[in-house]
A and B are shown apart, each in its own frame.
Chain A
Amino acid sequence: MDSLLSLVLLTPLMGMLVLLCLPSANQQAIRLAANIVGLVGFLVSLPLAFRFDANAAGYQFVENIDWIPFLGARYHLGLDGISLLLVMLTTLTGFLAILSSWNAVTDRIKSYYAMLLLLQTGMIGVFLSLDFFLFYVFWEIVLVPMYFLIGVWGGPRKLYAAIKFFLYTLTGSVLMLIAMLVLYFQYHQEFGVYSFGIQELLRISLPAATQQWVFWLLFVGFAIKVPMFPFHTWLPDAHTEAPTAGSVILAAVLLKMGAYGFIRFSLPLLPDAANTALIVQVVVTLSLVGILYGALVSLVQKDWKKLVAYSSVSHLGFCTLGIFSLNPNGLAGSIIQQVNHGISTGMLFLIVGVIYERRHTRDIAEYGGLAHVMPRFATVFAFAMLSSAGLPMLNGFVGEFTILQGAFERNPLWAALGVIGIVLGAAYLLWLFQRTMLGQVTNRKNLGLADLSLREMAIFAPLIVWALWIGIYPKPYFDVLKQPVSQIVERVRPGVYPVPSGVRSVEAATR
């Protein structure tokens, strides 16, 4: 059995343990160690991308051993195209988040880096688990370090934000737990054994009505995490108060856990519910409202970071719109857009972090004319802005267009409303750029600001390269998504689209 996934999963955790053994007084050693662990965590995940076989059906690098026998819970890991992209996103942005903290955090740095690394393992675990129970454990693990990152190293209103984040997410988790148990006991009733295995749970046959309320239970859990309108209000506070690395990880990875939940659990486990007209209408409506609402609210923010936070609501609306278009392009576009959002919004938060480190204010009115003083910084910001606004040949366009094409296929009106979100997206970003970067320098405090350092350039460089890659040559991404996406669509809406050769349906694979 290949244990590559365990290696990827446990590297940050092991690193955390090593880190805890270092003397607290030696800050430089702690910083260095944390960065090395982050880099190693990314490097060990690279073979996943190289060894992944896009044409193979089902999960790869599978590890499956008994964990808690009397519950039927197993340590079951596996990777498909969807989780591959999200794991790579996690390992890269996780490392960059650690790298970005070098000067930003000076207080209790040992615990700080330990929390970041624990978070890393939790998130990777969420994307790798093929056992609902294991998934749930990782899902809850993620909550704890994030709570502390916001609550200890956050801004002025950190306690409010941290508690809000915790309670919101916990509420969702509890509902998700109930849904999980319903499926668990249903499986026992039908097959006489207990199992949390995702592939096993696919075999249960729930009546449509039960599927629907189980769907809503899961929905609240995932929708809070995404977050979808109207469950989004924890996000601006959490993002704004979190330290830069926390915001980056929150935006780049944590939010994707919700969308991943829809794709991995809601659609395949409850296919009849997911394809119900009412459910599709409600979820799509909430997505579209989120797209437009998030964009409009972004437009009037006075706080740089809050603006970026609300833009996430808008961008994630595209992701859920794509998922609930329930067709191959909508789903594939959604997953690519999740990666894109990680790259673009991650960059935007890093940018706020860079300037916050220098000026300790997020008030947009404090800035203006920075492009004169920090030309490199302005160039990177312009790049991130264009990537986020979906300029073709950059990453955002590929995701947005594919999602909208998928939405158009189901209902042209959805696409028409989504396109308005793209227009508004350009508006709030350009206006932010103008107010902060262009014009004359009006505040003498901005005059002496240092441009990006080499370390800071090194943080942005991989994200810029990645954004260009997806924009210019997205084919490999569609290739790895072809198999898993086709399977999910086939399960929810059988027979509408051709299934790629070599793919057996998920049911056949498990029986």
Chain B
Amino acid sequence: MNALDLIWMIPVFPLLGAAVMLLLGRRLDPQGVSPQALSDALRAELAAGGPPADHHHHPDNHGGHAAHHDPAHHDPAHHDPAHHAAPASRGLVGIICAGCVLLSLLLSILATVQLAALSPRSHEVILYDWIAALPMALTNGQVATLNAQLGFLLDPLSAVMILTVTGISFLIHIYSIGYMQHDGGYYRFFGYLNLFVFFMLLLVLANNYLLLFVGWEGVGLCSYLLIGFYFHKKSAGDAGNKAFLVNRIGDAGFLLATMLLFVTFGTVRFTEVNAAVAAQGDALALTAWGSVAVICFLYFFASTGKSAQFPLFVWLPDAMEGPTPVSALIHAATMVTAGVYLVARSNALFRLAPEVSIIVATVGAATALLAASIALVQTDIKRVLAYSTVSQLGFMFLALGVGAYWVAVFHLFTHAYFKALLFLGSGSVIHAMGGQQDMRHMGALRDKIPTTFRTMFIGSLAIAGIPGLAGFFSKDEILWQTVSSPLGSQLLYAVGLGTAALTAFYMWRMMFLTFYGEARMDAHTAAHVHESPAVMTVPLLVLAAGSILVGWLGVPKVFSALPPLFHSFEHWLEPVTSPALLAAHDAHAHAEHHDHAALEWALMALSVGIALAGIALARWLYLVRTDLPERLQAAAPGLYRLLWNKWFLDDIYNSLFVRGLTLGGGRLMSTVDRRVVDGGVNGAGWLTKAVSSLSMWWDTYIIDGIVRLTAFTLRVVSIPVRLAQSGSVQGYALAIVVGILVLMGIYGRN
């Protein structure tokens, strides 16, 4: 079987799964309106006043299903078997959806194996012309046709992405079968999840920017749907809206970048853009802030939305309103790395725009530090991980900014494992705690949920950068590149190193608060703490294995004794991240690496030392001297408030953009519309009416008055005549007789 020609099927499987769920899922998993769907006031009203007036029309709506259950509000009573007597067909939901992702995973593996045998390692499948519009004039005076295909490109970069996406997705689907067991809308959850996988695979397999944008928007949509999954909660709806809208701001940049790309190169297909860049070469980069730099800047701006970087990262922590598997899959392992993928995919353009690369590195480093600082004081276990994700994404952008594209992708790859692990682990903790997410009410869970503890232990070591685990290799390579790259600087390195120290600290603060020390939960919760079922712990174990092993694919070059397999990640990505025309330059860089071997060893030791110090400090503060954190907090209240309020960025955005410009502008415009624009129209109408009333008055009293005056005058003048003309025949006869008699009298006298 030639899997390479079938790569378009990879996204199709989950699409089918989603279609089945969203069209037929309700039949597999029937449910009605849950009690939680009603507001407290309405529930009270109904309890007092009996069923609603027309209740009998729709008995289904009040079926007693224990639907729509948020684990955050888990009631232990629901573990009573009678309460989760879900229909047998419900099991089918999870099997279908996980099965679809498994098919994609298998096909991805097959295609990647076949890709490895190709030379060059690149394979494009074009299904049809999608947006096949009309001619347009390019900036260089030529005319090209606006065209974007529905086409798929498998190359080393997209191969890494599809393996990561399908692999992690499959594990999270399995985990969700257990985790979502008690929730209503089971089919809806899995349908959205499969739809997400479809769009994510479309994103990474697209052969052009416009189709990539389809996936880009699609994953945003699924993120919106899944953040708002518990949509009876207003906070969930708000968080979904925020995520979608903040991303839309970034998307505006994406659209403008794509338009500029079109009028600059006449195409948005990756292979053609890269060929054009190779052909025109440095001519494109001659002037600072030329078209290419603007394109790069706009794509990077788009990435700050999707990948939660400053200034658009504010949506990601709120996105934790979604179910925890969603946080693991979408808001940690896959979707949020789309921006990193986009920049890595566009590396040929970014190489021509060093002025933008500096911005990328600076924003990445700043976001890493900012988010890590906020993570220090968070008390919600998922929020710690959310800020940690923002911070780690900052590391990836730092790598991209200093031109270490493969390292960024490598960190994306390792991060997917340990961050998915940590999120799923936190989900297992929350599950055990009956919905409690606040670490101040945890503690001493180590022995009660041992598998969760052990796997999270590995994940926390990995993210802290302890040698031998995945995070160490990728993070250390980023730090090294920050120093050694011509685009790097000591300041960026210092920020990166400081952030690494903070990372080790806040992650282990989380670990100590959750698993060590004394139990701080109430007795009721404590009694119900239990390890998750195997369907949830097996994915944790697999991810834990990954968090140890995958880093060994990119061992630093100073370990020159190791066989090539240990350096294979960089080599695999070379065709994409180090195109042929730069090979010579890179060979030079390779030589340099060896010259700096001593420095590299020293820096490695430094970063390991600082990670250990971070862990030790966390242990001291949260295990030994547990009174100190509060005293520190009291000693620097301003700093604490700043961090606790997330540097006040949400408040600033809210008052400035949401309430100020948008809603304020809307209200102002609405008033203008009523008073001024329509006021003019109504005014004209009023004026017309006024004028016509005036005319009416003039008509009635003046014109008509004159007419009637004339009539009146004539009437007065004519009174004598009218008196004579009475119209009475007898009168006339009398007059005639009298007249005759008078005449006879006059003439008869003669």
Interface residues, chain A, with chain B CB atoms under 8 Å away: 164, 167-168, 229-230, 232-234, 293, 296-301, 327-329, 332-333, 369, 371-373, 375, 379, 386, 391-393, 397-398, 401-402, 404-406, 408-409, 412, 415-416, 419-420, 422-424, 426-427, 430-431, 434, 437-445, 447-450, 472-475, 478-479, 481-482, 485-486, 496-498
With contacts A233-B681, A441-B38 taken as known, whether A297 is within 8 angstroms of B666 at the C-beta atoms is yes
Which of the candidate stretches B175-183, B242-250, B274-282, B619-627 sits at the interface with the other chain? Answer: B242-250
Partner of B259, one of A293, A408, A475: A408
Chain B minimum-CB-distance residue to A163: B685
The answer to whether A406 and B132 touch across the interface, beta carbons within 8 angstroms, is no
The answer to whether B135 and A498 touch across the interface, beta carbons within 8 angstroms, is yes
CA–CA, A217 and B150, complex, Å: 45
Give chain A nearest CB distance to B515 CB in angstroms.
Answer: 36
CA–CA, A389 and B681, complex, Å: 30
The CB with the most chain B CB atoms within 10 A, among A234, A332, A408, is that of: A408
In the complex, which residues of chain A have a beta carbon less than 8 angstroms from the beta carbon of B218? Answer: 391-393
The answer to whether B217 and A441 touch across the interface, beta carbons within 8 angstroms, is no
The answer to whether A420 and B252 touch across the interface, beta carbons within 8 angstroms, is yes
Interface residues, chain B, with chain A CB atoms under 8 Å away: 22, 26, 33-34, 36-39, 41-42, 45-46, 52-55, 57-58, 61, 128-137, 143, 146, 210, 213-214, 217-218, 221, 224, 228, 231-234, 237-238, 240-241, 244-245, 248-249, 251-252, 255-256, 259-260, 262-263, 662-663, 665-667, 669-670, 673, 677-678, 680-681, 685
In the complex, which residues of chain A have a beta carbon less than 8 angstroms from the beta carbon of B133? Answer: 328-329, 332-333, 402, 405, 478
Chain A minimum-CB-distance residue to B231: A438
The answer to whether B33 and A473 touch across the interface, beta carbons within 8 angstroms, is no
Give chain A nearest CB distance to B684 CB in angstroms.
Answer: 9
With contacts A329-B134, A402-B131 taken as known, whether A296 is within 8 angstroms of B669 at the C-beta atoms is yes
The answer to whether B214 and A438 touch across the interface, beta carbons within 8 angstroms, is no
CA–CA, A168 and B260, complex, Å: 40
In the complex, which residues of chain B have a beta carbon less than 8 angstroms from the beta carbon of A448? Answer: 52-55, 57-58, 61
The answer to whether A299 and B663 touch across the interface, beta carbons within 8 angstroms, is yes
The answer to whether B245 and A427 touch across the interface, beta carbons within 8 angstroms, is yes
In the complex, which residues of chain B have a beta carbon less than 8 angstroms from the beta carbon of A405? Answer: 133, 136, 146, 259, 262
Partner of A296, one of B26, B55, B662: B662
CA–CA, A167 and B681, complex, Å: 10
The answer to whether B245 and A233 touch across the interface, beta carbons within 8 angstroms, is no
The answer to whether B669 and A293 touch across the interface, beta carbons within 8 angstroms, is yes
The answer to whether B252 and A441 touch across the interface, beta carbons within 8 angstroms, is no
In the complex, which residues of chain B have a beta carbon less than 8 angstroms from the beta carbon of A386? Answer: 221
The answer to whether A402 and B37 touch across the interface, beta carbons within 8 angstroms, is no
The answer to whether A328 and B214 touch across the interface, beta carbons within 8 angstroms, is no
The CB with the most chain A CB atoms within 10 A, among B39, B143, B224, is that of: B39
Give chain B nearest CB distance to A387 CB in angstroms.
Answer: 12
In the complex, which residues of chain A have a beta carbon less than 8 angstroms from the beta carbon of B666? Answer: 296-300
The answer to whether B263 and A409 touch across the interface, beta carbons within 8 angstroms, is yes
The answer to whether B663 and A300 touch across the interface, beta carbons within 8 angstroms, is yes
26 contacts between A and B (CB under 8 A): A296-B669, A300-B663, A332-B134, A373-B33, A373-B61, A401-B255, A402-B146, A405-B259, A409-B263, A419-B255, A419-B256, A423-B251, A423-B252, A426-B244, A427-B245, A427-B248, A434-B237, A434-B238, A434-B240, A442-B42, A448-B61, A473-B128, A474-B132, A475-B130, A475-B132, A478-B134
Chain A minimum-CB-distance residue to B138: A409
In the complex, which residues of chain A have a beta carbon less than 8 angstroms from the beta carbon of B42? Answer: 440-444, 447
The answer to whether B237 and A416 touch across the interface, beta carbons within 8 angstroms, is no
The answer to whether B136 and A475 touch across the interface, beta carbons within 8 angstroms, is no
In the complex, which residues of chain B have a beta carbon less than 8 angstroms from the beta carbon of A371? Answer: 231
The answer to whether B137 and A423 touch across the interface, beta carbons within 8 angstroms, is no
CA–CA, A158 and B318, complex, Å: 45
The answer to whether A233 and B259 touch across the interface, beta carbons within 8 angstroms, is no
Give chain B nearest CB distance to A495 CB in angstroms.
Answer: 11
With contacts A391-B217, A447-B61, A448-B53 taken as known, whether A404 is within 8 angstroms of B132 at the C-beta atoms is no
CA–CA, A89 and B680, complex, Å: 34
With contacts A296-B665, A402-B146 taken as known, whether A392 is within 8 angstroms of B46 at the C-beta atoms is no
CA–CA, A391 and B251, complex, Å: 11
CA–CA, A405 and B209, complex, Å: 14
CA–CA, A452 and B259, complex, Å: 40
Give chain B nearest CB distance to A380 CB in angstroms.
Answer: 12
Chain B minimum-CB-distance residue to A408: B259
Give chain A nearest CB distance to B390 CB in angstroms.
Answer: 22
With contacts A371-B231, A426-B245 taken as known, whether A478 is within 8 angstroms of B132 at the C-beta atoms is yes
With contacts A233-B677, A300-B663, A419-B256 taken as known, whether A401 is within 8 angstroms of B131 at the C-beta atoms is yes
Q: Closest 7 CB pairs between A and B?
A: A328-B134, A372-B37, A299-B666, A448-B54, A233-B678, A300-B666, A392-B214
With contacts A329-B134, A441-B33 taken as known, whether A391 is within 8 angstroms of B221 at the C-beta atoms is yes
Partner of B263, one of A167, A408, A485, A486: A408
CA–CA, A377 and B678, complex, Å: 34
In the complex, which residues of chain A have a beta carbon less than 8 angstroms from the beta carbon of B134? Answer: 328-329, 332, 478, 481-482, 485-486, 497
The answer to whether B41 and A442 touch across the interface, beta carbons within 8 angstroms, is yes
The CB with the most chain A CB atoms within 10 A, among B22, B57, B131, B217, is that of: B131
In the complex, which residues of chain A have a beta carbon less than 8 angstroms from the beta carbon of B57? Answer: 448, 450
Chain B minimum-CB-distance residue to A382: B225
In the complex, which residues of chain A have a beta carbon less than 8 angstroms from the beta carbon of B259? Answer: 404-405, 408, 412, 415
The answer to whether B670 and A473 touch across the interface, beta carbons within 8 angstroms, is no
The answer to whether B136 and A430 touch across the interface, beta carbons within 8 angstroms, is no
CA–CA, A22 and B55, complex, Å: 39
Partner of A497, one of B61, B143, B214, B256: B143
Give chain B nearest CB distance to A502 CB in angstroms.
Answer: 15
In the complex, which residues of chain B have a beta carbon less than 8 angstroms from the beta carbon of A440? Answer: 36-39, 42, 232, 234
The CB with the most chain B CB atoms within 10 A, among A401, A416, A442, is that of: A401
The answer to whether B52 and A372 touch across the interface, beta carbons within 8 angstroms, is no
The answer to whether A444 and B245 touch across the interface, beta carbons within 8 angstroms, is no
Give chain B nearest CB distance to A482 CB in angstroms.
Answer: 6
Give chain A nearest CB distance to B11 CB in angstroms.
Answer: 12
The answer to whether A475 and B128 touch across the interface, beta carbons within 8 angstroms, is yes
In the complex, which residues of chain B have a beta carbon less than 8 angstroms from the beta carbon of A404? Answer: 255, 259
Partner of B143, one of A402, A420, A498: A498
Chain B minimum-CB-distance residue to A229: B677
Chain A minimum-CB-distance residue to B262: A405
The answer to whether B678 and A496 touch across the interface, beta carbons within 8 angstroms, is no
CA–CA, A141 and B263, complex, Å: 44
In the complex, which residues of chain B have a beta carbon less than 8 angstroms from the beta carbon of A481? Answer: 134
Give chain A nearest CB distance to B189 CB in angstroms.
Answer: 14
The answer to whether B217 and A422 touch across the interface, beta carbons within 8 angstroms, is no
CA–CA, A65 and B262, complex, Å: 47
In the complex, which residues of chain B have a beta carbon less than 8 angstroms from the beta carbon of A379? Answer: 22
In the complex, which residues of chain A have a beta carbon less than 8 angstroms from the beta carbon of B249? Answer: 423
CA–CA, A399 and B134, complex, Å: 13
The answer to whether B52 and A447 touch across the interface, beta carbons within 8 angstroms, is yes
In the complex, which residues of chain B have a beta carbon less than 8 angstroms from the beta carbon of A479? Answer: 132
Give chain A nearest CB distance to B254 CB in angstroms.
Answer: 10
Chain A minimum-CB-distance residue to B238: A434
Partner of B667, one of A300, A369, A473, A496: A300
CA–CA, A126 and B251, complex, Å: 38
In the complex, which residues of chain B have a beta carbon less than 8 angstroms from the beta carbon of A234? Answer: 681
CA–CA, A118 and B172, complex, Å: 58
Give chain B nearest CB distance to A328 CB in angstroms.
Answer: 3
In the complex, which residues of chain B have a beta carbon less than 8 angstroms from the beta carbon of A445? Answer: 52
CA–CA, A401 and B217, complex, Å: 14
The answer to whether B245 and A327 touch across the interface, beta carbons within 8 angstroms, is no
CA–CA, A386 and B221, complex, Å: 9
In the complex, which residues of chain A have a beta carbon less than 8 angstroms from the beta carbon of B52? Answer: 444-445, 447-448
CA–CA, A434 and B665, complex, Å: 21
With contacts A371-B231, A405-B262, A448-B53 taken as known, whether A297 is within 8 angstroms of B255 at the C-beta atoms is no
CA–CA, A478 and B130, complex, Å: 10
In the complex, which residues of chain B have a beta carbon less than 8 angstroms from the beta carbon of A229? Answer: 677
The answer to whether A434 and B662 touch across the interface, beta carbons within 8 angstroms, is no
In the complex, which residues of chain A have a beta carbon less than 8 angstroms from the beta carbon of B256? Answer: 408, 412, 415-416, 419
In the complex, which residues of chain B have a beta carbon less than 8 angstroms from the beta carbon of A473? Answer: 128, 130
